[in-house]
């Protein structure tokens, strides 16, 4: 979710679901040790609960970054052992770390020694053509026993480190949910969260019969309103976070106006995250066109919202008239 789940994306999602745990995009230890720390770690308190996902393989660096995460107020720090991109591999972290469970255990132990917040690991079920259950079982067992990790977020696909792009790695290696379910059966004391290919509430419910949690990434991003029922259906809330798509859009636009528009700054980088908000609704395509118009990027976003809604209503009315005719 690199370049996707930034602070504005997370603010939008929090308007739709109050109780779902949100994760940052992966931030490398190098970016925090040598870059602009506030740019990477600042977030709105409305985002709670929120976890920082780290990429790295040096225990001391990860411990330093975990301390930063705790200092900034994150609820959790997560070590990424699942990203298959070549850029990440060149840094010797991401999915290639699954081949070194002892190193991962050392990294987790160093982070746990440094902070009091939970340290979790996100990983795949295997790398390359290694498809035996024993591989992921032994990885989890080593990191749990020697590193003290208690929470594992498991993408139910292998990561093919050669020959596939990151996009293909999300589509080509087959999903094998039964291996994630088996991990929970074999490690009942651990928290096992399933990730990969889940696109409906019915699927979430089915998996929750076997595991402790379900993580959604791209589906939640492209269809954000799909999260609207999660608080009440899965997380014990008495009422949803928002009553309507209109309410979410208005509150998000107020956020964008406060953050970006003063002084005429462009807000397109923030509003891109809500392009899927009205998917499937009449006139949604016209609504997206107005919001994506670069010529409007310095206008008051509240005025753009009014124009987008008017264009959406006009398009929906025209479509209905054409059907009646």
313 is catalytic: no
- Per the structure, the complete domain to which residue 106 belongs is given by 7-234
Among residues 172, 204, 234, which one ends one of the domains? 234
Closest CA to 4 of 274, 297, 267, 273: 273
Distance from C-alpha of 159 to C-alpha of 105, rounded to nearest angstrom: 20
At 171-210, the pLDDT tens digits run 888 999 999 999 999 999 999 999 999 999 999 999 999 9
Count structural domains, the chain. Answer: 2
Residue 294 belongs to a domain: yes
Q: Do 76 and 192 have their domain in common?
A: yes
Q: Do 40 and 69 have their domain in common?
A: yes
- The pTM for the full model equals 0.93
The full length of the chain comes to: 325
Please provide the average confidence, as pLDDT, over all residues in the chain.
93
Q: What is the pLDDT of residue 87?
A: 59
Residue 97 has what DSSP assignment?
Answer: G
Residue 308 belongs to a domain: yes
Q: Do 250 and 226 have their domain in common?
A: no
The CATH number for 74's domain is 3.20.20.70
Q: Do 42 and 172 have their domain in common?
A: yes
Among residues 234, 261, 291, which one ends one of the domains? 234
Among residues 204, 234, 264, which one ends one of the domains? 234
Q: Do 251 and 198 have their domain in common?
A: no
Q: What is the pLDDT of residue 208?
A: 98
Q: Which of 60-64, 227-231, 241-245, 295-299 shows the lowest mean pLDDT across its residues? A: 295-299
Read off the pLDDT band of 269 (50, 70, 90).
very high
Residue 1 belongs to a domain: no
Q: Do 134 and 39 have their domain in common?
A: yes
Residue 2 belongs to a domain: no
At 115-146, the pLDDT tens digits run 999 999 999 999 998 889 999 999 999 999 99
Q: Is the pLDDT assigned to residue 111 strictly greater than 80?
A: yes
**Is 21 exposed, middle or buried (CB count within 10 Å of its CB: 0-12, 13-18, 19+)?**
middle
Write down the H helix ranges in 201-260. 201-207, 218-222, 230-234, 245-259
Q: Which residue in the list 9, 81, 83, 149 is annotated as catalytic?
A: 83
Residue 18 belongs to a domain: yes
Are 143 and 105 within 8 A, CB to CB? yes
């Amino acid at each position: 979710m690199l370049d996707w789940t930034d602070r504005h994306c997370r603010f939008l999602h929090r308007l739709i679901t109050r109780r779902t745990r949100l994760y940052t995009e992966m931030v490398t230890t190098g970016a925090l040790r040598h870059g602009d720390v506030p740019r990477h770690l600042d977030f709105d308190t409305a985002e709670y609960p929120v976890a920082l996902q780290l990429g790295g393989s040096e225990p001391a660096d990860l411990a330093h970054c975990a301390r930063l995460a705790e200092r900034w107020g994150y609820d959790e720090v997560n070590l990424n052992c699942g990203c298959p991109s070549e850029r990440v591999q060149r840094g010797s972290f991401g999915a290639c770390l699954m081949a070194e469970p002892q190193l991962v255990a050392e990294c987790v132990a160093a982070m746990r020694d440094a902070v009091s917040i939970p340290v979790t690991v996100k990983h795949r079920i295997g790398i390359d053509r290694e498809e035996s259950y024993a591989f992921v079982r032994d990885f989890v067992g080593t990191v749990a026993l020697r590193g003290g990790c208690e929470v594992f977020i498991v993408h139910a696909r292998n990561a093919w480190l050669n020959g596939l792009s990151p996009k293909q790695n999300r589509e080509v290696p087959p999903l094998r949910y039964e291996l994630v379910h088996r991990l929970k059966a074999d490690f009942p004391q651990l928290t096992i969260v399933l990730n990969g290919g889940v696109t409906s509430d019915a699927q979430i419910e089915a998996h929750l019969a076997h595991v402790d949690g379900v993580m959604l990434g791209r589906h939640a991003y492209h269809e954000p309103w799909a999260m609207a029922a999660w608080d009440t259906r899965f997380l014990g809330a008495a009422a949803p976070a928002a009553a309507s798509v209109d309410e979410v859009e208005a509150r998000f636009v107020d956020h964008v106006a406060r953050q970006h528009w003063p002084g005429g700054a462009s807000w397109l980088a923030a509003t891109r995250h809500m392009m899927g908000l009205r998917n499937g609704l009449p006139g949604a395509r016209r609504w997206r066109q107005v919001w994506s118009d670069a010529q409007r990027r310095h206008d008051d976003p509240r005025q753009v919202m009014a124009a987008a809604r008017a264009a959406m209503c006009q398009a929906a009315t025209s479509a209905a008239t054409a059907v009646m005719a």
